[in-house]
Amino acid sequence: MRVEIADLEVVRAGRTVLALERLVIGSGRVTVVLGPNGAGKTTLLRAVAGLERCRGSVTFDGRPVRPRLAVAFQRPVFLRGTVRANLALALELAGISPADREARIAEAAGVLGITALLERPASRLSAGEAQRANLARALALRAPVTLLDEPLAGIDGPARRELLGALPAAFRAGGGTVIAVTHDPAEAALLADDLVVLLDGRVHAAGPAAEILSAPPDAETASFLGWDTIPGEGGVWAIAPGALRVGRGEVAFSLAVERATVVGGSPVVLGRIAGVPCLARLGEAPPPAPGETVSVSAPRSAVRWFPGSR
């Protein structure tokens, strides 16, 4: 189901927390809304869910009628009773027949790895378990539109990697439109078909995730995505994360070396380019001494120039 947002404005205590001219969420796609804390991501999700007082319109396949939605809030909430009872209630409210409920619960619990927790009272789950049960409840519904607020909040370590692997398949199996919110660019990169970058209540970028991640449309987006942004003459250079290396290349900068260390198994040099802290891979070169200035470079495809930005 295609979700279309037009002229959406949410004002809270006299401050505009969200202002979207037009945003289209593609049918059957996983759209990740990415932005830092306080950017208005949760507000956007709540506006789509109809929980937020706002101006503007949200339409579903062109109609202003909200379809059945599935939602997982950032804070997992449950009613009394077991995890199974909580999932069953959600399915019952969605009009799923009792016979189908069991199968849906079993499947969602399998994907989220909570099969062993189904008979446990929901009030006795750890934070990570509760978050997984929260997601299982949303996925089991297979709603035309599923809204997930920070789906991996509170889940870390191996469970997180496992879920990042399992969720895209689960989304596709559900077949509906998924809108997920996160502050983590790495998580967004792994989950998203499409990306919406929300900064300070405004959309800075929207489109296929691969395009935005490889070519952010403005300096703020680039900076948020982890690109090094370096002020230049009349604009800003943005260098893709991990693209800088010591030595000559297509686009060169000079790096004032602060120290050498190892990141992710490779030797790197930490220092500053035009006063901005940066990191360059060292490769085979001998480590420069602190205080030295070395030439670093990046391939042209990994560097963007934003004129007029500061």
All residues at 6 or more sequence positions from 8 whose CB lies less than 8 Å from its CB, including other chains: 18, 19, 20, 23, 44, 47, 54, 55, 56, 57, 58
- Confirm or reject binding of residue 234 to another protein (CB under 8 A): no
Task: Give the shortest CB-256-to-another protein separation in angstroms.
Answer: 49
Q: Is 46 left (phi over 0), alpha (psi -120 to 50) or beta?
A: alpha
> Which residue, 288, 304, 198, 205, is CA-closest to 250?
304
3-state secondary structure of 190: helix
Instruction: Report how far residue 230's alpha carbon sits from residue 227's, in angstroms, rounded to the nearest whole number.
Output: 9
Q: Among 30, 47, 69, 239, which residue sits at the site for another protein (rule: CB under 8 A)?
A: 69
Instruction: Report how far residue 163's alpha carbon sits from residue 170's, in angstroms, rounded to the nearest whole number.
Output: 10
- Confirm or reject binding of residue 75 to another protein (CB under 8 A): yes
Site string for another protein, 141-160 (x = CB under 8 A): x-----x-------------
- Confirm or reject binding of residue 96 to another protein (CB under 8 A): no
Instruction: Report how far residue 224's alpha carbon sits from residue 229's, in angstroms, rounded to the nearest whole number.
Output: 10
Residues 249-278 that bind another protein (CB under 8 A): none
- Size of interface with another protein, in residues (CB under 8 A): 20
Task: Give the shortest CB-300-to-another protein separation in angstroms.
Answer: 47
- Confirm or reject binding of residue 85 to another protein (CB under 8 A): no
Q: Among 20, 25, 54, 71, which residue sits at the site for another protein (rule: CB under 8 A)?
A: 71
Which region among 87-95, 200-208, 209-217, 263-271 touches another protein (by CB under 8 A)? 87-95
**Which parts of this chain interact with another protein (CB under 8 A)?**
46, 49-51, 68-71, 73, 75, 77, 79-80, 89-90, 93-95, 141, 147
